[in-house]
Amino acid sequence: MEYWAPSVTAGDEFEKLVLRMNPPRVAVDNASSKRTSLIKVDSVNKRGSLLEVVQVLVDMNLIIRRAYISSDGEWFMDVFHVTDRNGNKLTQDDVAERIQESLGQRALTFRSQRSSVGVLPTVEHTAIELTGRDRPGLLSEIFAVLSDLKCNVVAAEVWTHNSRMASVVYITDEATGSPINDSFRLDKVKQLLLYVLKGDMDKRSANTTVSLGSTHTERRLHQLMYADRDYDVEYGSEGTEPRKPAVTVENCVDKGYTVVTVSCLDRPKLIFDTVCTLTDMEYVVYHGTVIAESSEAYQEYYIRHRDGCPISSEAERQRVINCLEAAIKRRASEGIRLELCCDDRAGLLSDVTRIFRENGLMVTRAEVATRGSQAVNAFYVTDSSGKPVKSETIEAVRNEIGMAILHVNEDPNTKHLNQGEVEGGAAGKFSLGNLFRSQSEKFLYSLGLIRSYS
């Protein structure tokens, strides 16, 4: 097995020198706003800075209510209005420190190895990345193979979208609890999982990859599904949606930018999903405005290619629209959320997902974690045709697995939405004419970089 190590280039050394001379400055302001904490970031501009900051905020479970982004030239200046998951101002003392660390010299050393902030506390695991066509019972088959091969799943996340599935699964040896680094054994794991993924339907594009390094799981899932082209409609129908995201892409000819706007229902990590996608598609966000103070979210980004050119063709414009729509919908949680909390044991996930399959349940998304000796897992399930599950089926599954350990729960991603008053007006659909109230908005407007909708 080959392992890649990043090389140190003259560009890296120059960037380190610039950072030493101009270290990132991050300030947390709890006085200027009645309802939100302001996080102000000033830093030397480098590729990926915006994503680095957003990633730190979402990893700390903070909700971005507003954001003003400006990174033209050599400097990066952003203001984020944030709250915790309960809508309160920040009480953490390490927000500024973590952002500075992400933008500073340590990020130069580790970014290429770990993509960004790791989601697991250690790297004492082996990571397996899977992509393939989704189907009923697929997750059960994957966990059954790992159980048969004496691999213990310590964490995993599974996304499904547009008939495709992507997953990052972290495993250890069942007997020793150590990472699995035997190349012969890992080749067998890959071979059997690939056989399961391909089935009878996906001879072409199923894929498995094994890594001993650390990665940012959610960013990697976006990259896997993007590489698997889940944004292409050829893979299957999208099903029914309560509301399709509204994405527009237009060129601002006089300023030399492409303007991307996104309007959709708000949820946690929405800005991460869109910024991550634009970054991985090799676009640079020069200016932006984000408003997410009610059940609606509005985002506007002024972007160019890395070479400084705007989008130049209708095909590329449509591809950006399709990719952003897919990025927003990947994390959407279809179905009922079932939470499993119990003592961890070998084969637990294989047994639970087998019971799901035998009762006609299809897992549309999964979050698997191990905390000490406890398994803390969440599964979103529908019936095999994608329709809501009948209550009697859920109760039958709970009876078989254990009523005390398997619970039906509200999706926590919706709990942060404030149904009362929000800063600047009542909750509900906001007016785009309100985008220019703050000093940051007026500054961007004066430069001609955002448009008035009033």
DSSP assignment letter at 41: E
The pLDDT tens digits of the residues spanning 253-278 come to 888 999 999 999 999 999 999 999 99
Average pLDDT, the chain: 82
Least confident interval from 21-25, 32-36, 61-65, 389-393: 21-25
Q: What is the pLDDT of residues 126-180, one digit of tens each?
A: 999 999 999 999 999 999 999 999 999 999 999 999 999 999 999 999 999 999 9
- The whole-angstrom distance between residue 50's C-alpha and the CA centroid of its chain comes to 14
Q: Which of 38-52, 162-176, 193-207, 350-364 has the lowest mean pLDDT?
A: 193-207
pLDDT of 16 reads: 54
Burial 192-207 (b: 16+ CB within 10 A, else e): bbeebbbeeebeeebb
Q: Which residue has the higher pLDDT, 20 or 387?
A: 387
CA dihedral 73, 306, 223, 43 (to 10 degrees): -10
Residue 325: predicted pLDDT? 97
Q: Which two tokens stand for residue 194?
A: 């690939």
Site of tokens 């999982």: 193
Specify whether the CB–CB gap between 134 and 163 falls below 8 A.
Answer: yes
pTM, whole model, 2 decimals? 0.82
- Inform me whether the pLDDT recorded for 303 exceeds 80: yes
Q: Give me the percent of the chain exceeding a pLDDT of 70.
A: 77
Q: What is the DSSP string of 235-292?
A: G------S---EEEEEEETTTTEEEEEEEEE--TTHHHHHHHHHHHTTEEEEEEEEE-
- Domains of the chain, earliest start first: 10-116+239-331+422-446 (no CATH), 126-233+333-413 (3.30.70.260)
What pLDDT is recorded for position 241? Answer: 53
Which of 5-9, 14-18, 98-102, 296-300 ranks highest by mean pLDDT? 296-300
Per-residue model confidence (pLDDT) at position 48: 86
Work out the average pLDDT over 303-323.
Answer: 95
Does the pLDDT value for residue 428 go beyond 80? no
Mean pLDDT of 116-121: 37
Section 212-232 average pLDDT: 89
pLDDT at 71 over 60: yes
Torsion of CA 110, 112, 114, 115, to 10 degrees: 120
Q: Is the pLDDT at 182 greater than 80, yes or no?
A: yes
368: Cβ contacts below 8 Å, ≥ 6 apart = 153, 155, 156, 157, 169, 349, 375, 377
Other C-beta atoms within 10 Å of 345: how many? 11
Check pLDDT > 60 for residue 18. no
Percentage of the residues of the chain whose pLDDT score is greater than 90? 62
